[in-house]
């Protein structure tokens, strides 16, 4: 059944686990997530970015997720708008039937200018007011995703701060977070701790100076009852990079967020963990392998099947690793 995200996050907090939130754009990704959830008895958060809605079309996305809900009636499913860049986008998602929205007021509507605190407060507060009347959950963001190695904003997927950033922008301030939660009354708070979107997060396996789990602990200490959200949380598995390279792909050396760091964060209030890139890598590796090993094949079902299977394996692993399994 379609449920509110608040309900799932409250249960996760009471029982000390995290929930991966997977981005979806097409049929095979939706199926992979649902099969993984069914096999591990996990609740599901599926999220669609503005780019996903543009790629698939709003109607297709809505009914793909609806098909998932109907096909797995015993699994709770949240349909979440990822990175809504304005109250209007959030309103559109709610009208479409989403049970949860993210108002990302850390950046202005252009998706690249860092917003003033007052702007973020204003847009987030407005979305909370609109959404809560309808039983829809709201995620906000304070701080800006970006790299503590380069002091650059998150640019890889087209949205992210321009220019050089300060450490104050790259790491969410616990006192300001407390004020933000109090003034907006949001349900979940996305924080900045040195992660960024996409495959190129870190040039080496991250240590505490470039991936600040200690900042999460400080925020959690100040806000023990607030559900925290980690964006840019793909782990970028080295074996998937190796598979992509083996079958003709060109990917530079890179590192993601280690699963054990996420597991530590889950002990300190992180309840929603956003993952898109790992599914992209898994599907691309499987398709490259299939194409490389079967050059005469041309039926899309034949290469999308292993791609869907590879995505499902990633989802199953994360459901197990984050303690989500068994909680549907
Ligand atoms: O926010 C980042 C997600 O990975 C979505 O990416 O905007 O390319 O759909 P996207
Ligand atoms: P990744 O690019 O690390 O998968 O992050 C996805 C994300 O944060 C979507 O909002
Ligand atoms: Na989100
Ligand atoms: Zn994100």
* Number of Cβ atoms within 10 Å of the Cβ of 260: 11
124 lines ligand 1 (CB under 6 A): no
Which residue numbers belong to the known binding site for Zn(2+)? Answer: 83, 104, 141, 197, 231
10, 41, 82, 250: the active-site residue? 82
Q: Distance, CA 7 to ligand 3 centroid (Å)?
A: 16
82 lines ligand 1 (CB under 6 A): yes
- Between CA 306 and CA 37 the distance in angstroms is 18
CB 103 within 8 A of CB 130: no
Q: Which atom of ligand 1 is nearest to the CA of 51?
A: 9
Q: Which atom of ligand 2 is nearest to the CA of 102?
A: 10
- Is residue 299 among the annotated active site residues? no
280 lines ligand 1 (CB under 6 A): no
231 lines ligand 2 (CB under 6 A): yes
Q: What is the pLDDT of residue 154?
A: 83
276 lines ligand 1 (CB under 6 A): yes
- Between CA 102 and CA 89 the distance in angstroms is 10
DSSP 322: T
Please give the C-alpha separations between residue 259 and each of 19, 47, 76, in angstroms, as whole numbers.
13, 20, 24
Query: Residue 30 has which token pair?
Result: 């939706």
Q: Distance, CA 197 to ligand 4 centroid (Å)?
A: 6
Please give the C-alpha separations between residue 45 and each of 21, 64, 97, 206, 273, in angstroms, as whole numbers.
5, 14, 14, 27, 10
CB 20 within 8 A of CB 275: yes
Q: What is the pLDDT of residue 158?
A: 67
Mean pLDDT (10-residue bins), the chain, 328 residues: 96 98 98 99 97 95 97 98 98 97 97 96 98 98 97 81 94 98 98 98 98 98 98 98 98 98 99 99 99 98 98 99 98
Please give the C-alpha separations between residue 22 and each of 37, 123, 124, 165, 315, in angstroms, as whole numbers.
11, 25, 23, 28, 8
- Between CA 93 and CA 88 the distance in angstroms is 9
CB 154 within 8 A of CB 160: yes
- Residue nearest ligand 2's atom 1 by CA: 232
- Residue nearest ligand 2's atom 3 by CA: 232
Collapse the DSSP code of 167 into the 3-class scheme (helix H, G, I; strand E, B; otherwise coil) and give the result: helix
- Between CA 104 and CA 110 the distance in angstroms is 11
Q: Distance, CA 82 to ligand 3 centroid (Å)?
A: 4
Q: Distance, CA 21 to ligand 2 centroid (Å)?
A: 9
- Between CA 302 and CA 304 the distance in angstroms is 6
CB 44 within 8 A of CB 78: yes
User: Which residues on adjacent β-strands are paired with residue 97?
Assistant: none
277 lines ligand 2 (CB under 6 A): yes
6 lines ligand 1 (CB under 6 A): no
- Domains defined for the chain, CATH in brackets: 5-321 (3.20.20.70)
CB 95 within 8 A of CB 87: no
- Between CA 41 and CA 19 the distance in angstroms is 12
- Between CA 243 and CA 285 the distance in angstroms is 6
- Residue nearest ligand 1's atom 5 by CA: 49
- Mutate which of 80, 198, 270 to test ligand 2's pocket (most atoms within 8 Å of Cβ)? 198
Q: Which ligand is nearest to the CA of 81?
A: 3
Q: Distance, CA 299 to ligand 4 centroid (Å)?
A: 33
- Between CA 184 and CA 226 the distance in angstroms is 12
Q: Which atom of ligand 2 is nearest to the CA of 234?
A: 3
- Between CA 193 and CA 212 the distance in angstroms is 5
């Amino acid at each position: 059944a379609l449920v509110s995200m608040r309900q799932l996050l409250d249960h996760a907090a009471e029982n000390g686990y995290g929930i991966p939130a997977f981005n979806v754009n097409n049929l095979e990704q939706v199926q992979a997530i649902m099969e993984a959830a069914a096999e591990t008895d996990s609740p599901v958060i599926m999220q669609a970015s503005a780019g996903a809605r543009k790629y698939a079309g709003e109607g297709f996305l809505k009914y793909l997720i609806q098909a998932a809900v109907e096909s797995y009636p015993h699994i709770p499913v949240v349909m979440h708008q990822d990175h809504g860049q304005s109250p209007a986008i959030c309103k559109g998602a709610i009208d479409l039937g989403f049970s949860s929205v993210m108002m990302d007021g850390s950046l202005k509507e252009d998706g690249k200018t860092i917003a003033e605190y007052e702007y973020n407060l204003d847009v987030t507060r407005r979305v909370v007011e609109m959404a809560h009347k309808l039983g829809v959950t709201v995620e906000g963001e304070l701080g800006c995703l970006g790299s503590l190695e380069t002091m650059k904003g998150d640019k890889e997927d087209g949205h992210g701060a321009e220019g050089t950033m300060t450490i104050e922008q790259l790491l969410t301030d616990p006192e300001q977070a407390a004020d933000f939660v109090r003034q907006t009354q949001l349900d979940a708070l996305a924080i900045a701790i040195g992660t960024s979107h996409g495959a190129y997060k870190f040039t080496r396996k991250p240590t505490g100076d470039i991936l600040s789990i200690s900042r999460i602990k400080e925020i959690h200490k100040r806000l023990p009852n607030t559900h925290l959200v980690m964006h840019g949380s793909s782990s970028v598995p080295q074996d998937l990079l190796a598979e992509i390279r083996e079958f003709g792909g060109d990917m530079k050396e890179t590192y993601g967020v280690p699963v054990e760091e996420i597991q530590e964060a889950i002990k300190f209030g992180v309840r929603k963990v956003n993952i898109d890139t790992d599914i992209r890598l898994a599907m691309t590796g499987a398709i490259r392998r299939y194409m490389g090993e079967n050059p005469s094949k041309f039926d899309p079902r034949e290469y999308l099947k292993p791609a869907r299977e590879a995505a499902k394996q990633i989802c199953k692993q994360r459901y197990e690793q984050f303690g989500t399994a068994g909680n549907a």
